[in-house]
């Protein structure tokens, strides 16, 4: 006879850490938007660039450690050791340092096991490396680079979306409503005669009434093509969206990172479309000195730079991308914080002028806006600055394309974009 012996389960500190809540705390670190061009100093503008973001495993451990401290998940003795104090027992201090190192290693390993992160090299386990707070630190961890997986990117988009929807009081939503009628499952109007191509959602009562009026009461009832009646529902359309993100140097100037919140919005929109609007498409265009499309999978690692704002080139690329898609609605969501300051000349050279609103650059930008309107493309602009000249520029863009203008900031950017995307209502936020 077999016997099974059960022992009491003693959870470790790593087992009590909520990985999803931890990832939510690490969102800014994982999506940080350093300057792609490296450190740069200008004699008039001062320091406006930073070195490329540290993607090492050691930096990840330090970020996790800070998150655990902020959320109060470390023991008082561990906090004392981190502050450089002593518990009064050297052996106990060394043991606490070892426990902290093992804790961080286990959390990183769990993040990889759950599929949120991957690394370019296999990280060493605690037994094969120096303690985190020992002499020299963990040199091996500084050589290992980590990356967000598709699951990790999608999760950050989900968490951002959840926070944004919670702040605007919305919890459920469906496809985009329009003023047109079509045949569908949900009844919103009186039934109509069936035509070829309609959804065969029969109005049984109206269909039988037509047959009885034609032939009278009798059995069997003969149905003919003209007797068929179908319910009408609101026509639900699909939408093609291009999210234009300004990644010029001003997006991380003046002590504020405006690009990371914009990336969070893009990830939230991606998750929203994938889960609630499967017929819609979302593509991302970065515009700076020029413009290029970036795969959504690479968005988390996108950084600001180069320096200027070529709005016209971004609009031109977005228009071409939207015209290649057969959708009922096409729109551009443009997030920017500065005036157009660059233009691609016919010969391919880049003309730049950062001093004021250049008439040549403005004329080319307004021309692209007008072409978008002729192509049936709506442009909704989200401006992260409030300079008088920028306000006038955005007003002119909105007037040309009959789009909407939102003057917002990094704290409310996501709310306004989601409200606009879901409601399709004209709102002015000033």
pTM above 0.75, yes or no: no
**Given this model, what pLDDT does residue 267 score?**
83
What pLDDT, on a 0 to 100 scale, did the predictor assign at position 375? 92
For the cut 90, the answer to whether the pLDDT of residue 167 exceeds it is: no
**For residue 71, is pLDDT > 80?**
yes
* Assigned token pair, 40: 């740069």
Instruction: Indicate the pLDDT class of residue 136, thresholds 50, 70 and 90.
Output: very low
80 touches 87 (CB < 8 A): yes
Q: Is the pLDDT of residue 425 over 50?
A: no
Percent of all residues in the chain with a pLDDT value above 90, rounded to a whole number: 13
Q: What is the pLDDT of residue 311?
A: 93
Q: Give the pLDDT confidence score for residue 323 in this predicted structure.
A: 92
Res. 131: pLDDT tops 50:
no
Say whether pLDDT at 103 is over 50.
yes
pLDDT of residue 369: 94
Token output for 55 = 């993607």
- How distant, in Å, are the alpha carbons of 244, 425, 426 from that of 419? 18, 8, 10
Q: What is the pLDDT of residue 183?
A: 47
Contact 307, 288 (CB under 8 A): yes
pLDDT at 13: 67
How confident is residue 166, by pLDDT bands cut at 50, 70 and 90?
low
Band of pLDDT at residue 97, cut at 50, 70 and 90: confident
Is the pLDDT at 51 greater than 70? The verdict is no
pLDDT of residue 382: 79
Specify the pLDDT at position 3. 66
pLDDT at 426 over 70: no
- Nearest by Cα to 122 from 150, 144, 147: 144
Query: Ranked by mean pLDDT, which of 251-255, 309-313, 383-387 comes out on top?
Result: 309-313
- Torsion (CA) 80, 83, 85, 90 in degrees, nearest 10: 70
For residue 390, is pLDDT > 60?
Answer: yes
| Tokens representing residue 224 in the block | 């003919």
Q: What is the 3-state secondary structure (H, E, C) of the chain?
A: CCCCCCCCCCCCHHHHCCHHHHHHHCHHHHCCCCECCCCCEECCCEECCCCCCCCEHHHHHHHHHHHHHHCCCCCHHHHHHHCCCCCCCHHHHHHHHHHHHHHHHHHHHHHHHCCCEEECCCCCCHHHCCCCCCCCCCHHHHHCEEEECHHHHHHHHHHHHHHHHHHHCCCCCCCEEEEEEECCCCCCEEEEECCCCCCCCECHHHHHHHHHHHHCCCCCCCCCHHHCEEEEEEEEECEEEEEEEECCHHHHCCCCCCHHHHHHHHHHHHHHHHHHCCCCEEEEEEECCCEEEECHHHHHHCCECCCCCCHHHHHHHHHHHHHCCCCCEEEEEEEECCCCCEEECCCCCEEECCCCCCHHHHHHHHHHHHHHHHCCEEEEEEECCCCHHHHHHHHHHHHHHCCEEEECCCCCHHHHHHHHHHHCCCCCEC
Cα–Cα distance, 79 to 65 (Å, whole number): 10
Most confident of 23-27, 232-236, 238-242, 364-368: 364-368
| Distance in angstroms between the alpha carbons of the first and the last residue of the chain | 78
* Contacts with 130 (C-beta within 8 Å, 6 or more apart), sequence order: 136, 137, 138, 139
| Average pLDDT over the chain, rounded to an integer | 75
- Residue 306: asked if its preceding bond is cis (omega within 30°), the reply is yes
CA 123 to chain centroid, in Å, comes to 29
Residue 11, Cβ density class (10 Å: 0-12 exposed, 13-18 middle, ≥19 buried): exposed
Provide the pLDDT for residue 58. 85
Average pLDDT of span 334-363: 89
Q: Which of 7-16, 244-253, 361-370, 397-406 has the lowest mean pLDDT?
A: 7-16
Share of the chain above pLDDT 70, in %: 72
Backbone angles phi, psi at 273, to 5 degrees: -70, -40
Residue 417: per-residue pLDDT:
66
So what's the pLDDT on residue 395?
85
Mean pLDDT for 297-311 is: 84
Q: How confident is the model at residue 384 (pLDDT cuts 50, 70, 90)?
A: confident
- Contact indicator for 168, 204 with CB cutoff of 8 Å: no
Confidence of residue 170 (pLDDT cuts 50, 70, 90): very low
Predicted confidence (pLDDT) at residue 112 exceeds the cutoff of 80: yes
Q: Quote the CA–CA distance of 332 and 321 in Å, as a whole number.
A: 10
- For residues 165 and 156, what is the distance between their CA atoms, to the nearest angstrom? 14
Q: Could you read off the pLDDT of 237-286 as tens digits, one per residue?
A: 678 889 899 988 888 776 678 888 888 888 888 887 777 777 788 899 99
What are the φ/ψ torsions at residue 5 (nearest 5 degrees)? -105, 125
């Amino acid at each position: 006879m077999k016997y099974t012996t059960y022992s009491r389960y003693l959870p470790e500190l790593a087992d009590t850490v909520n990985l999803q809540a931890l990832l939510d705390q690490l969102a800014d670190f994982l999506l940080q938007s350093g300057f792609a061009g490296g450190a740069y100093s200008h004699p008039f503008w001062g320091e406006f660039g930073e070195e490329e973001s540290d993607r090492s495993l050691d930096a990840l451990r330090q970020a996790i450690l800070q998150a655990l401290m902020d959320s109060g998940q470390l023991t008082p003795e561990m906090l004392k050791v981190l502050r450089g104090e002593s518990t009064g027992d050297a052996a106990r201090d060394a043991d606490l340092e070892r426990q902290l190192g093992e804790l961080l290693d286990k959390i990183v390993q769990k993040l990889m096991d759950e599929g949120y992160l991957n690394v370019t090299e296999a990280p060493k386990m605690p037994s094969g490396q120096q303690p985190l707070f020992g002499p020299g630190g963990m040199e091996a961890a500084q050589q290992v680079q980590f990356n967000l997986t598709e699951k990790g990117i999608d999760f950050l988009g989900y968490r951002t979306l959840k926070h944004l929807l919670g702040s605007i009081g919305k919890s459920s939503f469906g496809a985009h409503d329009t003023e047109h009628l079509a045949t569908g499952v949900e009844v919103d109007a009186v039934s109509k005669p069936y035509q070829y191509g309609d959804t065969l959602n029969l109005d049984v009562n109206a269909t039988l009434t037509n047959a009885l009026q034609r032939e009278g009461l009798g059995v069997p009832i003969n149905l003919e093509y003209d007797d068929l009646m179908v319910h009408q529902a609101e026509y639900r359309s699909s939408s093609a969206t291009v999210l234009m993100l300004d990644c010029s140097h001003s997006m991380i100037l003046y002590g504020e990172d405006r690009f990371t919140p914009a990336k969070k919005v893009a990830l939230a929109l991606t998750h929203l479309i994938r889960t609630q609007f499967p017929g819609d498409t979302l593509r991302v265009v970065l515009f700076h000195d020029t413009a290029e499309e970036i795969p959504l999978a690479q968005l988390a690692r996108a950084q600001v730079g180069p320096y200027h704002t070529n709005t016209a080139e971004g609009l031109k690329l977005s228009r071409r991308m939207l015209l290649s898609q057969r959708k009922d609605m096409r729109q551009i969501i443009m997030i920017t914080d500065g005036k157009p300051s660059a233009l691609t000349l016919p010969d391919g050279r880049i003309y730049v002028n950062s001093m004021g609103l250049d008439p040549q650059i403005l004329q080319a930008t307004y021309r692209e806006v007008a072409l978008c309107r002729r192509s049936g493309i709506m442009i909704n602009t989200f401006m992260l600055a409030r300079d008088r000249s920028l306000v006038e520029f955005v007003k002119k863009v909105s007037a040309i394309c009959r789009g909407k203008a939102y003057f917002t900031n990094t704290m409310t950017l996501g709310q306004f974009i989601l409200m606009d995307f879901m409601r399709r209502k004209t709102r002015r936020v000033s």
